[in-house]
Amino acid sequence: MSYKNEKITAIVACRMGSSRFPGKTLHPILGKPMIYRIIERIQKSKYVDNIIIATTVSKEDDAIQQWCDDNNIQCFRGSALDVLDRLHSVVEKFKIEHMIEILGDNPLIHSDMIDDSIECYFDNSSDYTATITNEYSLVTGDYFKFPIGVRVEIISKSAIERCHKSANTPEYREHATSYILKNPGIFKTTYLEAKGSHNKCNKPELTFAVNLRNNMLLIERIFDDCYEEDNNFTVGDAIDSYERNFGLSKLMGNDAF
């Protein structure tokens, strides 16, 4: 299957109501909200045609809607708890055939990872492709894994429709792609590994997701270190920055300080 002639949409799933770090979506990194930095990095992709913010109908997410309106970014609002329905609804409304889901707390996601995941998805005629991390505990086999917090997921429209129709438990509705992962016999799944041009990213023990305020401090330090030299610095560059700046390890992970 050719990916060069396909219309590919990136969906950034985000909200303001994080219990551990409220308002993180609009928290500034180098003077711009985290969501801006994510969009900025996605826009470097060779294949992504459109970017849509997918947030919730909760009152607190009016701020995300307002930011999108002010910055001419498409915004879709759906269920706060039923994430699968939110994704299915945005696919239906915008007639999306191939959806890339990017989490709104993954500000180090990189365009090269997105593009290589897209190529993997189309080259294997997959229903679902993702960058492999330790989060995929159900996937067996030896893989070279990326850090947590730089996840790319590509899902076909037909896969989302099948999930929406068949996945009825609260777990499946909240964790939108979990039905795919637990039913590999009915979906063709492939994974991009941290090898080849991504070999420097074979660091599954690292976590770059922003769940707490200390995680944001870590991301801010990395942007401070890397952005001026290259505004599209890679995850490998981020890992180099982390490893040469002693003391940053206390900012990583889910332990508050």
Residue pLDDT, tens place only, 42-86: 999 999 999 999 999 999 999 999 999 999 999 999 999 899 999
Backbone angles phi, psi at 186, to 5 degrees: -115, 0
Residues 216, 210 contacting (CB under 8 angstroms):
yes
State pLDDT tens for residues 216-239.
999 999 999 999 999 999 999 999
Considering the domain delimited by 8-209, tell me its CATH architecture: Alpha-Beta Complex (3.90)
pTM: 0.94
Q: Which amino acid is at 163?
A: C
Domain boundaries, the chain: 8-209
Checking if the pLDDT of 1 tops 60, the result is: no
What sections of 80-139 are H helices per DSSP?
A: 83-94, 111-123
Q: Which residues contact 140 (CB under 8 A, 6 or more apart)?
A: none
Mean pLDDT of 136-141: 88
The predicted pLDDT at position 3 comes to 65
Residue 114 to residue 149: CA distance in whole angstroms:
13
CA distance 118 to 110: 13
| Cα 116 to the center of its chain, rounded Å | 14
Q: Name the CA radius of gyration of the chain, rounded.
A: 17
